[in-house]
Amino acid sequence: MKPYLKLDPWNIVEEDFQPHLHEISESIFSIGNGYMGQRANFEESYSGPSLQGSYMAGVYYPDKTRVGWWKNGYPEYFAKVLNSTNWIGIDIDIDGQPLDLANCKVKDFTRVLNMKEGTLSRSFTAELEGGKEIRVEAIRFVSMTRHEIGVIRYAVTPLNFEATFTVTPYLDGDVQNRDANYDEKFWTEVSKEFGEHDAALTVKTKKLDFHLTSVMTFEISKNGELLDIKPEQLAKEKYVGFRAQVEASANEQIAIYKYAANVTSRDHGLGQLVDAGRTALQSAAEAGFQALHREQVQAWADKWQDSDIVIEGDVAAQQAIRFNIFQLNQTYSGEDDRLNIGPKGFTGEKYGGSTYWDTEAYCLPFYLSTADSSIARNLLIYRYKHLEKAKENARKLGFAKGALYPMVTMNGEECHNEWEITFEEIHRNGAIAYAIYNYVNYTGDFAYLGQYGLEVLAEISRFWEERVNYVAAKGQYMILGVTGPNEYENNVNNNWYTNRIACWTMEYTLEVLDYLRENEPSRYRELIEKLQLSEAETAKWQDIIDKMYYPYDPERQIFLQQDGFLDKDLTPVKELDPKHLPLNQNWSWDRILRSAYIKQADVLQGLFFLGDRYDLETKKRNFDFYEPLTVHESSLSPCVHSIIACELGYKEKAYEMYLRTSRLDLDNYNNDTEDGCHTTSMAGTWMSVVYGFGGLKVKDGVLHLNPFNPGHWKSFSFKVMFRGSRLKVTVGEHEVVIANESEVPADVQVYGKEYTVGGMSHVKVEH
């Protein structure tokens, strides 16, 4: 697809309305605040193609599984974050003619996502029947400070005629998910009621009994003066609204201010929802649009203070990285440890909005470095709270002990129903174990190990202990029948990454046991008793570690992705006719499975996670072999390749992969942005700058930096929070400047040399 968005360092700008791109824009221009999210649907009615989407974090539905052939162990449902009550709706009727951009001539259309301030604005001129023209200017946001509040200012101006506007702001709960397996509507009405100045609609899910109350109020002004209007009340099934008529002469502006509160039973008692919604709404409405906007601007200024990345000399790269950071900050705020991060965030329905291994493998580092450590800690606690469910998942698949964390979940229970993923993509367990290591290594919060970490690590290790297969004739352990990170290979034996991360998990678990035995002996004894952990078990883990089989090619000196990988045709991707790409849209699944083409980093994923275990030559040999075979048809792939390419000094490849991951959605690389943005891969984009071009690593409690400028930029800078310090790292053509923006001194190593950066000071290092 030809890029259609204007390049700008702080804004995503669409000029000219193109209906065939509208659903892509609905994803890209989405807004959210960690509590709720909203696709960039129009406020006024629109009869053209559109995916209406208003989403409430943590509110989901167990949509009945739809498969062609049921297998024992299949989950009975796929959890889906629901399309919820449409709170943005404002129908506009001009002299009896509905405003609908699908049925009128649209001129001077502009849509702007202001990432600096967290607002979505839109303006256009519509030519109606008879040559009547109206100008519309709309702006909306969901509040970062009042998480249950959404605000809209919608202004209409007749340009060449006298008009009677009929304005209908409403709440509509009669919605459904496009991805509903059986076209079912998931909501039923509980109540609707009108107050003196508001309307409230309460709906509940048909299963699980989530309740959502939406409350709205509105004001109308003419040329800045509030009007005293007595609107008509409107009510029908799962719908409440108001209808008001306003007269306007040419060039008189009519502005509608709509305030909405969305409150759920996750946070309020069922009998308190309407009152809670009205209380939140009243406070917001009394503050008014301008005050709420000022709050929004300040809240985003605080976010950018901690997380901004500045790139000088490359507007496309600058816009892209800020877009990725913006989406991450508005998807997950971290205050609620019941919540996690869906692969599409609040931007679409694909993948159900559920939690995947993406969080631990890709998202955790972003929150570790750009927010208080409690935010990343809550991501781990989410998994700790699901430990019992993970143990149940293992039992359902026939395991006597241990925990298998789900590939897809909302409440800890597996809800994915593709056998090669549900049953075989067990490497997700390793990502969760690695996240515990990553968090503790970065923050120094060793207390987490005794409080929560060991229990998770021990149960995952128990799973690996039972999942391995001992081959007596070879005296080695193997792991059979798996799918690695490369999902273009199913049901393989001895996927190198899976075998390696399994043993690494057991190694780390044993290290944690030793640490607790030595440093927290009382807690160690408590946990040994609670877990009923025996010396025989830990001895078995060590035996597996010592005797694990890893497929290897001695001629090329590379780790084999799995047994038999070299039996495939190894024609590199660059020699394929471009008409075959993307493979997943042009080849049969059978043909893909028989090919050597790799969807995403697999062996290289292991070399990224466990990079301290392997030297540069090992990484180089494996990168040089596998990268030419990788089609990067997973959004999670380019960032890992970019980071390793940086380490190897492959500057052009690193930059190529960075652009691919950073502009994945903005340029619709994979032809699927209309389904929602690739939110979790956006964290990989951040890593490609900070871990890749910045060379950030943490070793023995010390922050190490090995930065380089990719050559396409004049300079770049990023910020990291590390153990109480906030550091701004600026990489220029000839020097690196590390500025400490906090009062807490920081010890860092740059290019292998040690420096102490005092509070509110900086150091310069030439390169």
Q: Mapping DSSP to helix (H, G, I), strand (E, B) and coil, where does residue 699 land?
A: strand
* 724 phi-psi bin (left φ>0, alpha ψ -120 to 50, beta other): left
CB 242 within 8 A of CB 139: no
Residue 712, both tokens: 């396409």
* 668 phi-psi bin (left φ>0, alpha ψ -120 to 50, beta other): left
Residue 675 contacts by C-beta under 8 Å, 6 or more apart in sequence? 27, 344, 348, 349, 350
**Residue position matching structure tokens 């976010």:** 303
Evaluated on CA atoms 220, 223, 225, 230, the torsion sign reads negative
Question: Which residues are 477's β-sheet partners?
Answer: 470, 548
How does DSSP classify residue 642?
H
Instruction: Give CA–CA dist 125/1, Å, rounded.
Output: 27
Q: For residue 572, how many other CB atoms are within 10 A of its CB?
A: 12
Residue 368 contacts by C-beta under 8 Å, 6 or more apart in sequence? 376, 438, 439, 442, 443
Residue 460 contacts by C-beta under 8 Å, 6 or more apart in sequence? 402, 403, 405, 429, 430, 432, 433, 505, 509
Instruction: Give CA–CA dist 604/570, Å, rounded.
Output: 17
Instruction: Give CA–CA dist 221/202, Å, rounded.
Output: 29
127 backbone dihedrals φ, ψ, rounded to 5°: -100, 120
148 backbone dihedrals φ, ψ, rounded to 5°: -95, 5
Q: Mapping DSSP to helix (H, G, I), strand (E, B) and coil, where does residue 257 land?
A: strand
Fill in the amino acid letter for 119.
T
Is the backbone peptide bond immediately before 582 cis, with ω within 30 degrees of 0?
A: yes
Mark whether 455 is an active-site residue: no
Fill in the amino acid letter for 157.
T
Fill in the amino acid letter for 405.
Y
CB 429 within 8 A of CB 436: no
Q: Mapping DSSP to helix (H, G, I), strand (E, B) and coil, where does residue 73 land?
A: coil
The catalytic position among 14, 414, 455, 487 is 487
Burial of 540 (0-12, 13-18, 19+ CB in 10 A): middle
Residue 330, both tokens: 């508005």
Q: How far, CA to CA in Å, does 56 sit from each of 60, 156, 324, 676?
A: 8, 30, 21, 16
Residues written for the chain? 767
Q: Mapping DSSP to helix (H, G, I), strand (E, B) and coil, where does residue 465 land?
A: helix
Residue 252, both tokens: 């008189």
**Catalytic residue IDs:** 487
